[in-house]
Structures are given as structure tokens and as C-alpha cells.
Amino acid sequence: MKLSQSIHQQIRLKNTLLALVFLCLFITLAWLSNLYPLQVDITANAGNSLSPASQKLLASLPDKIQITAYIKRGQPARLQIDQLIDRYRQHKADLSLTFVDPDTQPEKSRELDIGPGGVVIVDYQGRTENLSFIDESILTNALLQLANAEERWVTFLTGHGERSPEGVANFDLGEFGKELARRKIRAQMVNLAAIPDIPENSALLVLSAPAVPLLEGEVDIISHYIQRGGNLLMLSDPDNKQLAVLQKQLGIRQLPGVIIDNRSKLYGVNDPTFILADEYIEHPITQSFKTITLYPVVAPLEFDKQSGFSAVPLFRSAKQSWTETGAINGNIGFTANSDEKQGPLVFAYALTRKIAEKNQQRIVVVGDGDFLANAYIGNVGNLDMGLRMVNWLIHDDRFIDIPAKIATDKSLQLSKTGVALIGFGFLIVVPLMLTATGFFIWRKRKLY
């Protein structure tokens, strides 16, 4: 059957009109998508979307945010930062991002002390934060710090060989003090022999393993501070008895000996007195915290349930651990029928109680004074854990823990059967289908 020229023209006109209709439809959809953008994150853990906590924070910031990234051209970090900031722009239109090549501004680079990896400067309300690394957690917490103009003060007791928040020795807390200052938490040192009271502006008192006994009057001042509902961070060491009186007031008893845990060898640590914590009891300090923390030379603690405080054990050693009361050399092991105790053993408590029916007193006692020292603060999650403790103790609960976005969707595990089916389908089935379709169309046209 042959078609007339008139019918051919009608078919061509019909096909042309259909093509024009579909073209107009696609153009209209593209135009509407620019006016009303819609994105759907189908990743397993919403890895391409901001967390609700970040969205809530952005909604509470009234002023514009300026982010300047001093990163060299061609660096992959530029693309990563741009993608991250784009997620923030979806919830805050007046957030701007500017890239600057440090090589084009050498004087500014020297002023900012920009290293090879570059630096990201976040500016909000005239206050700035310099970030050497940026992800959602770091950027959101930086914005939260900038939004909070109020400085908080933490008092460190001194005069008894305590670790100093300004010291540079390995056992000091100088690096931790710097990190607190970056978050507008100022450290002040007080010698109660010279100033016979805790400063009123202090949101927290830190006792960091004094090496010599406190004077009776100093103990009375600290005891009265606790009775009034003052917040306290108490760091002790094995066989350190300088804080025994204050520990008793809190309902804490420090057991004799050092915790030994051979499990540390699994992580490449050959010293059995180093305790690694990788599982945490549910508490605001440890909420969503998944990083290992390291505690060198740890004292075990016990809590008296008759105390007026409520206690949550923050950290425990492993079940195979024990307290060693003898010399730590040669072959050591648990000695039954002695003062030694089998694990698991608690070495940190978080204490709370109500004061005047409204305020909550918060206290943390840790049987290790070294985990925040300059020599160890850079290990795994020690710094983050210390900052979490301080933020909780000073009631700064606004600081957000943003869950890590692990791209679980980037790997595809296939069985051998699945690989074979895919290969058979693409190499044999699909070509045969295309060939059969072509033959069918050719045959149909030939008949007409």
C-alpha cells in the first residue's frame, strides 16, 4: 500500500507539530525549574543536605554572612567548599562566598599566616573565625560561636603544681587553653592564697591534678563554691590524694592503683596503662560521639549512691582490664584476693543536682589529668571530648553536634552472579534487542 503525497505531508506536519509541542513543554519546565527550584536528596544518610540543626541555626541569624576562602586556583578544595556553601545558600540567601588566590595577595597571606592548605575566613557581625578545614560541623559551630558575642570565663586553680592553661610544657594545658579562647571561652588562673574566693564571673572551676596538698582554707573556699552550686571540672591522677576531701563531698572515691588494659595493643599502643575509650554511655557530652579517645595512666573511680548528686559514668575500661597496685614492669596480671579490681572500671563521672529548684549544677570528675595535656590533646578525639565537657559544664548547650556525613551510597557491591547478568545483558541481550527492533522497522517499511 502506497501513501499519497498529501498523506505524507499530513504526517510530516503532524510530527513537526508534536516536536514543537514537546520542545515548548521542555522549555517551560526548564524556566519553571529556575523560578521554583526543587531538590530531593535520595542518599542513604542525607549526605547532600544540611542537617536540621544547621537549618535552624541559619534561620536564627538575621545578618549577612561573608565567607572568604584563601585557596590557590586549581585546588580540589575549591569545588568542595563551593558545593558545601551552596547547601547553606539554599537556606540563607545573603550568605556570600569569595575565593582568593593567596599568591595574588602575598601581604595578606603573611598577615593571615596562610599555609599551603589555605584558610577559610567566616565573617559575621564584624567578628571572624579562621578555619583551616571546613565541613558542615565545623562551619555550623563557627557560625554559632560568631553569633554568640558574650565571653565566658573558666577559672583554673593554680599555686599547687597544677597544669597551666597557658603553659607550653608537655604536661600543661596550653593548647587546650588556646582552643577555648578561639571559642570565646577565656581562661583565668587563680591562686586562692592570694585571692581568697572564686571570681564571680567564673562559669566553671577547673582543678587539674594539684601536685601538693591544698591549704585548709583553700579547701573550704572550694567546698563552699560547690555547696553554692558552682560548676566544676576535676582532673585527677592515680595515687593523687590532694583532692580526696573534695571528692568525698561529691560522693566520689578514687580507688588505689592504675587501670591496666592490654586491649590498647590492638590500636598500636604498647603501654598497657593507656586506656582507649571507643564506646560511650548515653549523655549530652557523648551524644553522637564516635571517635576514640586516649587516656594515659588512669585512676579508677567509684560513686557513692547516697550522695546528693545524680551520676552518669562517662567512660569505662574494657572487661578484661584491672587495677594494678604493684610495680608496672615485667609480666603483670590481675591478683585475686587483693585490693586490685577486675574491669570494667569507671574512670569518669558526670554529676548533676538541682539548685534552688531551677538551676542545674554540673560537675565532671575524670581519673586522668593528662588527656588534655599538650602531649596528648592532639590524639584522636581528645580535644573534641574536652571541649564537649567544658561546653556542657558552662551550660552552653547550644553548641551543636552535627552528625558526620559518610557517603554510604558511593560503593556498589555486586555478587559474581550479578556481574555476570549485567555483562550478559549489555553485551548480548541489548544488542540483540536493538537488532531485532531495527529488522522489524525495516521489514514494516518494506511492506508499505
Phi, psi of 109 (to 5 degrees): -65, -40
State the Cα angle at 189 between 188 and 195, rounded to 5°.
Answer: 110
Contact 319, 343 (CB under 8 A): yes
pLDDT at 147: 80
CA distance linking residue 341 with residue 355, whole number of Å: 35
Q: 75-89, 285-299, 347-361, 411-425: lowest mean pLDDT where?
A: 411-425
Mean pLDDT of 71-91: 89
Contact 380, 294 (CB under 8 A): yes
Q: Is the peptide bond before 196 cis (omega within 30 degrees of 0)?
A: no
- Examine the pLDDT at 208 and tell me if it is beyond 90: yes
Q: How confident is the model at residue 279 (pLDDT cuts 50, 70, 90)?
A: confident
Q: 84-98, 188-202, 411-425: lowest mean pLDDT where?
A: 411-425
- Examine the pLDDT at 382 and tell me if it is beyond 50: yes
CA distance linking residue 205 with residue 246, whole number of Å: 13
Contact 391, 286 (CB under 8 A): no
Around 40, how many Cα atoms within 13 Å sit in the side-chain half-sphere? 1
CATH of domain 151-393: 3.40.50
pLDDT at 162: 93
pLDDT at 225: 94
Contact 347, 314 (CB under 8 A): no
C-alpha cell at 87: 547547601
| H helices present in 251-370, as ranges | none
CA distance linking residue 393 with residue 382, whole number of Å: 17
Beta strand 359-366 pairing with 346-355: antiparallel
Position of cell 526543587? 38
**Cβ-proximal residues to 107 (8 Å cutoff; 6+ apart), any chain:** none
pLDDT at 431: 87
pLDDT digits (tens, 9 = 90+) for 288-330: 787 889 999 999 999 998 888 999 999 999 888 888 887 777 6
Q: How confident is the model at residue 409 (pLDDT cuts 50, 70, 90)?
A: very low
- Computed on alpha carbons and rounded to an integer, the radius of gyration of the chain in Å comes to 32
Distance spanning both ends of the chain, measured CA to CA: 5
Q: 181-185, 318-322, 372-376: lowest mean pLDDT where?
A: 181-185
pLDDT digits (tens, 9 = 90+) for 118-162: 888 999 988 888 887 788 878 887 888 788 767 789 999 999 999
- Which residues in the chain are classed under CATH 3.40.30.10? 52-145
- Which residues in the chain are classed under CATH 3.40.50? 151-393
Provide the 8-state DSSP code for 37.
-
CA distance linking residue 375 with residue 156, whole number of Å: 19
CA 147 to each of CA 61, 141, 202, 204, 394: distance values in angstroms, whole numbers, following the listed order: 7, 10, 21, 22, 17
Domain 52-145 top-level CATH class: alpha beta
pLDDT at 406: 43
